[in-house]
Structure 1
Amino acid sequence: MMKLPTAITLCEVGLRDGLQNEATILNTQSKITLTKEMIAAGLTVIELGSFMNPKAVPQMADTDALFFHFSEVKNVELRALVANKKGVERAVNCGCRKIKLNVSASLGHNLANINMTPEESIARFAESVELAEKSGIEVSGSISMPFGSPWEGSISLDAIQSIIDAYLKVGVREISLSDASGMAVPNQVYTMCKHLQERYSDVKWWLHFHNTRGMAMANILAGMQAGITHFDSSLGGLGGCPFVPGAAGNVASEDVIHMLDEMNISTGIDLVQIISSAKKLQDWVGHETDSYVLKAGRSKDLIK
């Protein structure tokens, strides 16, 4: 018999990982509207944006304004991606209470982007973690491409564990495995997640899948079977990594919620409201997105 959790938690990453790759730059009020709708729908973890250089990522230039606007929101974890200490300073100044750091498990990818090994990158995170914790900000970390990389192909478990150990050394105990290359397959996801949970039992694990080759839903199912209960998803399936050849978007939030609803696995999220928000976002970015539910609707709506 398939062993699955009775409930899972979703982090909505559309406002950050989704919009950062869009040619259309949404205005702040539109982002505020979507965030309010997502909170009303029951989402309790939302990635509002990132504290990156606005010249490099203009889609995220208003992240500070979003955190100022939602500074009084309770019982919802609003988080942001941060690259360095300067980003943490911005997080402190606008009232952000949760940040996420990122490093690639692919040596080639990390060297090409910032000319450092993954371990050297994380060592640089120590000052960011220190400032964040001193300011009362929680810190999580993510590892890109642990399931495979266009640079090296497969990534060794030893390489992944050395990054996890480096995160733990600077005090980060919430870690996301991010399939930015879209190369993960279900048996690999299951085996790795079972092993890492046993080896690092005090770590809170998240999984983040891109649907580049149509594997994201199967990989989420494999993750759940392995005991993972925290996953990222994106409204409409927006997103993709600009540095990875052929990379498509994230798995669509409405597709994941629909699957879980049909499996009687609780998310606490109103699918009808999420579909409405995803359709609105699709209209705003001006193109169709890789979402099955937006095209086909809910299964139960077809039953006479």
Structure 2
Amino acid sequence: MTRLPDRVFITEVGLRDGLQIEKRILSTHEKLALARALIDAGHTSLEVTSFVSPTRVPQLADAAELLAALGRTPGMELKALIPNIRGAERAIAAEADVLVFVLSATDTHGAHNLNRSTDESLAELHEIVRTAYAAGVRVDISLSVAFGCPFEGNVPVEKVIGLADRIQQLGISRVSFCDTTGMATPRQVQTLAEALKHKLPEIDPAFHFHNTRGLGLVGVMVALQQGIRRFESSVGGMGGCPFAPQAAGNVCTEDMVHMLHEMDIETGLSLTRLIEAARLAEKLVERTLDGQVMKAGPRLHLHSQDGCK
């Protein structure tokens, strides 16, 4: 069997990617309670919000207020998604620790999600990098539809590698390769991970899967076998892109952590407290979430024989 990593690092994206498509808009106080529950579970990297137009994503209109309420904590990384230079300036002013610039791998998705082509976004990224670095703030990249576009179909791995190379030339090493609508197959995951390892070894990749077609944890497993050590996931399995059809269903954080712990892979997270956070999230959004471990409990969660026949 392929040797798996001894430790993986998880960025929780439920507060941003999860809440951005929920019908119920949470108050800043409710988001703060969920954030603290996730921090209590051991998370040290949270993508907490995005600085996008509040008319397009009203669920995250309180981005600055939430960051101010959380404050800066040593050892804690609070990330904010940004689509453009205006978003970058707002996020820097709100004292986000990391800016996550969202970039579409296809022009059609970029037009729907960002109102611009891939090249137009890359051109603006130059200015964002200068502005962020002058403020001492790191820039990461979230590369959308890296495994397939709901409008254009398959995205060739050569195109994804080419975009990652252009990103690297700007001095950015952390890139999240996102399966925005759950189109990734095990073979695609293996091919991209191998290409990154051999062609762009300086890139520090994270893989971000959606479980739209039931292959989210399969993607995680294949990525692990290729040595990928950073992943993004969402509490309770919430989330999805509001500007792409049928995008619902991030990989569920507590389900992934349960799988990893059963393979003796360390995460630094408490599964018990993650389940508590998922139940809180379910209560706050007022609907049943997709996570399985929050319903069934861990594998060795035993039951009383009373009432069994």
Give the TM-score normalised by the residue count of structure 1.
0.96
CA change 1:287–1:19 in 2 (3 A) is: same
5+ residue gaps, structure 1 = none
Query: 2: CA distance between counterparts of 1:255 and 1:263?
Result: 13
Stretch moving more, 127-136 or 30-39: 30-39
CA shift for structure 1 position 171: 2.5
CA change 1:228–1:160 in 2 (3 A) is: same
Equivalent residue number for residue 288 of structure 1: 288
Equivalent residue number for residue 201 of structure 1: 201
Equivalent residue number for residue 235 of structure 1: 235
Query: 1: CA distance between counterparts of 2:114 and 2:65?
Result: 28
Equivalent residue number for residue 42 of structure 1: 42
Equivalent residue number for residue 162 of structure 1: 162
Partner amino acid, structure 2, of 1:224: L
Give the TM-score normalised by the residue count of structure 2.
0.94
Kindly indicate whether residue 11 of structure 2 is the aligned counterpart of residue 15 of structure 1. no
Query: 1: CA distance between counterparts of 2:24 and 2:40?
Result: 25
CA shift for structure 1 position 114: 4.3
Query: 1: CA distance between counterparts of 2:206 and 2:153?
Result: 22
Equivalent residue number for residue 105 of structure 1: 105
CA shift for structure 1 position 210: 0.5
Partner amino acid, structure 2, of 1:253: T
Equivalent residue number for residue 117 of structure 1: 117
Query: 1: CA distance between counterparts of 2:156 and 2:279?
Result: 40
Partner amino acid, structure 2, of 1:150: P
Query: 2: CA distance between counterparts of 1:198 and 1:40?
Result: 38
Partner amino acid, structure 2, of 1:45: S
Q: Secondary structure at the match of 2:227?
A: coil
Residue pair 2:83, 2:114 contacting (<8 A) in 1 also: no
Partner amino acid, structure 2, of 1:202: E
Provide Cα deviations, 1:143-177, integer angstroms capped at 9, x if missing partner. 11111122222111232122112212332221010
Residue pair 1:194, 1:227 contacting (<8 A) in 2 also: no
Query: 2: CA distance between counterparts of 1:288 and 1:116?
Result: 35
Q: Secondary structure at the match of 1:125?
A: helix
Instruction: Tell me the matched-pair count.
Output: 304
Residue pair 2:48, 2:80 contacting (<8 A) in 1 also: yes
CA shift for structure 1 position 3: 1.7
Residue pair 2:157, 2:191 contacting (<8 A) in 1 also: no
Stretch moving more, 157-166 or 206-215: 157-166
Residue pair 1:50, 1:82 contacting (<8 A) in 2 also: yes
CA shift for structure 1 position 181: 1.7
CA shift for structure 1 position 67: 1.6
Equivalent residue number for residue 177 of structure 1: 177
Residue pair 1:182, 1:209 contacting (<8 A) in 2 also: yes
Query: 1: CA distance between counterparts of 2:129 and 2:95?
Result: 16
Residue pair 1:210, 1:248 contacting (<8 A) in 2 also: yes
Query: 1: CA distance between counterparts of 2:280 and 2:30?
Result: 10
Residue identity (%): 39
Query: 2: CA distance between counterparts of 1:112 and 1:284?
Result: 29
Equivalent residue number for residue 77 of structure 2: 77
Equivalent residue number for residue 53 of structure 1: 53
Partner amino acid, structure 2, of 1:294: M
CA RMSD of aligned residues (A): 1.5
CA change 1:115–1:90 in 2 (3 A) is: closer
Query: 1: CA distance between counterparts of 2:85 and 2:115?
Result: 18
Equivalent residue number for residue 86 of structure 2: 86
Equivalent residue number for residue 252 of structure 2: 252
CA shift for structure 1 position 112: 4.1
Provide Cα deviations, 1:199-220, integer angstroms capped at 9, x if missing partner. 1111110000010000000000
Equivalent residue number for residue 307 of structure 2: none
Q: Secondary structure at the match of 1:142?
A: strand
Query: 1: CA distance between counterparts of 2:231 and 2:128?
Result: 25
CA change 1:88–1:111 in 2 (3 A) is: closer
Equivalent residue number for residue 192 of structure 1: 192
